[in-house]
Structures are given as structure tokens and as C-alpha cells.
Amino acid sequence: MGKLAAIELGGTKTILALGRDGHIDERVEFPTTTPQETIARAIATINGWRDIHGIDAIGIASFGPVRVSPTAPDSGTILATPKPGWSWTQVKAPFASAFGCPVKLDTDVNGAALAEHRHGNGRGCASLVYLTIGTGLGGGVLLDGKPAQGLLHPEIGHLALRRAPGDDFAGACIFHQDCAEGLLSGPALAARFDMPLPDVLPTDPRWDFVAHDLAQLFVSLILTVSPERIIVGGGVTLRQPHLLDMAKSRVPGILNGYLPDYTDELLSHLITTPRLGNDAGPVGALILAEQALEEAGG
């Protein structure tokens, strides 16, 4: 039996992993540049692994929006995206063509959600949301342990949020300005504070606006999905860990007496960080590869 190959295709970096059963044996990481260069480099790496170990299936966890339906004519295609040069790029087909093995694609956040559900802080939860806040803002939703998919997939990053009184920051999303991504992503925060995010002091009073926005996003998820766990990953909360507690503390006030079950104590367990850290994405892509092999009867 050969190995499984995993690709976490992110907007900033690409991670390749070789392994099985959620265990990463080898890992390669490089910047996500042009589609041609990035995909060619990934194919070359996996080809080297195939020559030594054999490859039974490939899982791809991709940034989006991306066409995840396997029956759609443009299945596996990245749709209109702020990432320069990547709109309408076929992601799945080049790997299926190069390796002739089962390939399954989903969003990077759905992949991370699957990983945390099986191996991390989402174990035992029937429903969970995995948020990543970094270069962009994305959210993967699992219901009964399976990724929520409809016509496309959830695009949590582009939800409109109720703004805090007195906050005049316009937002940074090229599509919607002050959607969740336009207010909370790394580039949005750098624009708000006018400095690199690691240089912003935790005592800066503008964090109150940011915490309000993140709390509004949590409340939107609580009211629409009612998840048993909200797992927040990505570079923003990693570099500014105080932000998560600031946002959680504001949730009961926004609910304003509605749903009194959402106490500070409950929220301390409901909203958490990923147990798998930076391995959530590639481990999730390994799960997708495993599913591809099962669906192919392997």
C-alpha cells in the first residue's frame, strides 16, 4: 500500500504532506506564487514521493472561493479571488492528470475543520466551525461531522457585521470593504493600525473595535449554525492572542440577554484555538485523500 499525498493550497504559502491516518511523514512548504509555478512545484514534489513510496490518492485543501462540487463542469476551479492571477485556475485537474489516482478537493478551512474534528479540539462535536484569520478570513462548517456544501460552500469571511459606534475604519475588502474579512484579516488590521500587526501593542485602544467585530462574527455563527465548537486559527490570533479573549467577553453583551446559556464559562470552552496548530490544514488534506481513496473503492 502506498502513501497519501496532501496539499494545503493557501493564499500565502503552500504545504505538501506525505503520510496516512492523520500522521505526517514528510512535509514541504513554499510560497504560493503564480498558479503555473506553484502547481508545477507541487507536482514535482509529489512525483518524487511517488517514485519512492507510491501514491494511492491525493487530497487538496484550497483557498477559495473554489468549485467543490465533483459533478460541476468547472469542478476544482478557483473562482473570482483577490489573489492576483488565480481567478479561474484549475487546481484539481492537473493533479488528476499527472498521477492518475483518486483526487478530492475541498476548501482549506473545511480541511482544517475535518482535522480538528478527528484529531483536535473538535473531537466529539457533531457541529463545529473552523475560522482562519490571516491573509484572508475563511470559515469551514461541519454539520454531523461533514462539511457543509450547497451551491458552493460557506463564505463566512464576507458576512456583513454590525459596526461599533464611532468606528470610522472603511474596511479593506476589494469586494465589500467592511465585511468580516475587510475588518479582521491581517491586511485589514495593518491598514487600520497603519503598522505591521506584530508591532501593535495589546493596549492600543483600537483593539476594542476589532474585538467588537470579531464578537459580532461569533454571534452570527452562534445564531445561524449553533456550533458546539468554534475553533479560531490563523496568524492574527497567533500574533495577538489577547484578541480572542477580548472578543469572547463581548458576546453576552451583544446577545443582550437572549440565549442566556451562552455564559462566559460556556464561551471559554466553545471558542478555542486549534489543537493541531499549523498541521490542521495538511492533516485535513490527508483526510480528503483518504476519503478519495475510499470513494474510489480503494
The third-level CATH classification (topology) of the domain covering 121-273 is Nucleotidyltransferase; domain 5 (3.30.420)
Q: Structural domain boundaries of the chain?
A: 3-109+278-295, 121-273
Q: Residue 3: which pLDDT band, with cuts at 50, 70 and 90? A: very high
Give the span between the Cα atoms of 242 and 294, in whole angstroms: 42
What grid cell was written down for 36?
503555473
Percent of the chain with pLDDT over 70: 99
Residues contacting 174, CB < 8 A, separation 6+:
82
Which of the 8 DSSP states describes residue 65?
S
| 116-163: pLDDT as tens digits | 999 999 999 999 999 999 989 999 999 999 998 877 888 999 999 999
Alpha-carbon torsion (127, 132, 136, 137), positive or negative: positive
- Does residue 215 contact residue 180 with C-beta atoms inside 8 Å? no
Could you tell me where the DSSP H helices lie in the chain? 35-53, 92-99, 108-119, 180-184, 186-193, 207-224, 235-239, 242-255, 264-270, 280-295
* Residue found under cell 504532506: 17
121-273: same fold as 3-109+278-295? Answer: yes
3-109+278-295 homologous superfamily? ATPase, nucleotide binding domain (3.30.420.40)
CB neighbour burial string for 60-99, b if at least 16 within 10 angstroms, e if fewer: bbbbbbbbbeeeeeebbbbeebebeebeebbbbebbbebb
* pLDDT tens digits, 198-243: 899 999 999 999 999 999 999 999 999 999 999 999 989 988 999 9
Residues 242-248 have a mean pLDDT of 96
Q: Which pTM value belongs to this model?
A: 0.93
